[in-house]
Structure 1
Amino acid sequence: MTEVERPPFENPDHWDKTARNYQQTAHRFTSHYAEAALAKVPLTDRSRVLDIAAGTGALALAAARTGAQVLATDFSPGMVACIEEAGLANVETRTMDGQALDLPDASFDAVFSIFGVIMFPDWRKGLREMARVTRPGGHGVVATWQDQGAATFLLLGQIRGRLFPDRSGMTMPEAVQALSDPADFARELVAAGYRDPEIDSVTHDFLLDVAALDEPDTLFGMSPDWTSLSDADKALVVAEVRQMASDRTELPIPSTALIGVAMR
């Protein structure tokens, strides 16, 4: 890959364009993992919380419901705008690159990145930035996917492997591959400046609404495994999903994440 051929997920314009689709198709699902991450850190109305690469705010909005003061950051203005629409008084938003946070050292009680820092070109720098802004005694929490991702991305990878076994599929971000083993994940958190890491596996079903297959570009459109297909191949994929669903109205896709929690 040349320097100009950056993957789409490293471009804020990509996320600006897909923010509404993400909010409609992924937000509720990622909220399950956000809630699991929040359950690992005690928050009060005096807690200062930072959500890095916040997306449409699954973690930030849930943290705000505890009464904590939350700053949600993302490099995509479109994502930030979705969070602002919630209108919560204890949620502040800023457009900001998580690899170079414009924030003072040791300024937050808890710093989260739910499937965010794992997308960064320099994800190790992102982890170090998380640790830098976490106060001593505070917590850092990172969620990453295992294997080939989750939800429709995981499903598409599996189906492509069956239908088109000779074609290469979507390459997962480097951090997803590097952090898929819990021991490696723990070592990276320590190297970033945290201590006493604990890594837990969390699995939830993504419930694919079979009716959404009537508009497959909306359902699958964020994945290169979909957009790289011809119309004929897309039709084969949709037919395969319908066959998997049989007479069910929802197709469960078990998706596993690792959630790492560490102290500063």
Structure 2
Amino acid sequence: MREFENPDRWDKAAEHYERTAHPFTARFAEAALARVPLTAQSRVLDVATGTGALAFAAARTGAQVLAVDFSPGMVARVAAAGLPNVDAKVMDGQDLALPDAGFDAVFSIFGVIMFPDWRRGLAEMARVTRPGGHGVVATWQERGAATFLLLGQIRRKLFPERETMAMPEGVMALGEPDAFARELVAAGYHAPRIERAVFDYELDIAMLDEPDTLFGMSPDWAGLTAEDKEAVVAEARRMAGTRPILPIPSTALIAVAER
């Protein structure tokens, strides 16, 4: 089992993820949400919700939201918000314990793309979307985002002879718009519309004082020696120069398709 497929890993990372990644991914969640009209009568499913960036944004429209994730730690974070129109449950997005055609809109923001069987995840999303409803999926383009992207860039500069972490198969397969559209159609959706969205991850350079916290979720970091890690941190500081914040432009593809 690869680390990102292990719910225990995400349970342990939930607090750090909520503090560092959630504000960043929330910007893409808002961009995805803006592409689908929701009302207080809408039924919304957020697959692989993480700490609930999309779920909370959808809840602000008044919609009834079900947020699911295979990580109990992540689900607990969503439930702790106590929003009356958000229900959070532990559930495998590759085998949703939900009836057919039960939702007006089904979202997965950087979630299904990480599944071992991401095609099944897409098909499950389509299965539970009502006819005339929408499926919305966001994936990373290029080589990921935020600190993962930065670490990969630095590794390729400092250690060009070394291999970097392989991206999940779903990210690689869906990283090009035409291929992304074909997979959504194969899953059971139609008329997909795919657009790019770019936001900066704003890295507080002070966080480089605790690099294991900053980069620790990446296998590319765990495989470095102490000397290598010092070199990576030094390069990140060099890139920032005198700036207290280092912007890391990160590109996503956001697809909206009809059922």
Aligned residue for 1:73, secondary structure, equals strand
Which residue in the other structure is 1:143 paired with? Answer: 138
Q: Give the TM-score normalised by the residue count of structure 2.
A: 0.99
Counterpart in 2 of 1:176?
Answer: 171
Q: How does 1:87-98 map to 2 (within 5 A)?
A: 87-98=82-93
1:226 and 2:221 equivalent? yes
Matched residues in 2 for 1:93 and 1:33: separation?
A: 21
Match of 2:71 in 1: 76
SS at match of 2:50: coil
Please list the CA deviations of residues 196-229 of structure 1 after superposition, one character each: whole Å capped at 9, or x if unmatched: 0000000000000000111111111111111111
**Which of 122, 130, 137 matches 1:127?**
122
Count, aligned residues: 259
User: Which deviates further from its counterpart, 133-142 or 215-224?
Assistant: 215-224
Structure 2 counterpart of 1:162: 157
The Cα of 1:85 is off from its aligned counterpart by 1.4
Match of 1:104 in 2: 99
- Structure 2: which 5+ runs fail to align? none
Matches within 5 A, 1:243-262: 243-262=238-257
> In the alignment, what sits opposite 2:2?
7
Q: Identity across aligned pairs (percent)?
A: 71
One-letter identity of the residue aligned with 1:176: V
Of the three residues 185, 210, 215, the one matched with 2:210 is: 215
User: For 1:17 and 1:227, how far apart are their aligned partners in 2?
Assistant: 16
Per-residue deviation, 1:122: 0.3
Give the distance between the partners of 1:112 and 1:41, measured in 2 at CA.
Answer: 10
User: CA–CA distance in 1 between the matches of 2:21 and 2:221?
Assistant: 16
TM-score computed with the length of structure 1 as normaliser: 0.98
Q: C-alpha separation between the residues in 1 aligned to 2:50 and 2:85?
A: 17
Worse overlay, 211-220 or 98-107: 211-220
Q: Quick check: 1:189 aligned with 2:191?
A: no
Cα offset for 1:235?
Answer: 0.5
Give distance in 2, aligned partners of 1:177 and 1:235: 30
In 2, the alpha carbon distance for the partners of 1:151 and 1:228 equals: 19
Structure 2: how far apart are the matches of 1:181 and 1:240? Answer: 30
Deviations 1:227-259 (A, max 9, x none): 111111100000000000000000000000000
Aligned to 1:65: 60
Q: After superposition, what is the alpha-carbon deviation per residue over 1:90-148, rounded to whole angstroms, capped at 9, x for unaligned?
A: 00011000000000000000000000000000000000000000000000000000111
Report the CA distance between 1:9 and its aligned residue.
0.5
Query: What is the RMSD computed on CA atoms of the aligned residues?
Result: 0.5
Deviations 1:51-109 (CA, angstroms, capped at 9, x unpaired): 00000000000100110000000000000011111110000011000000000000000
Structure 1, unaligned runs of 5 or more: 1-5
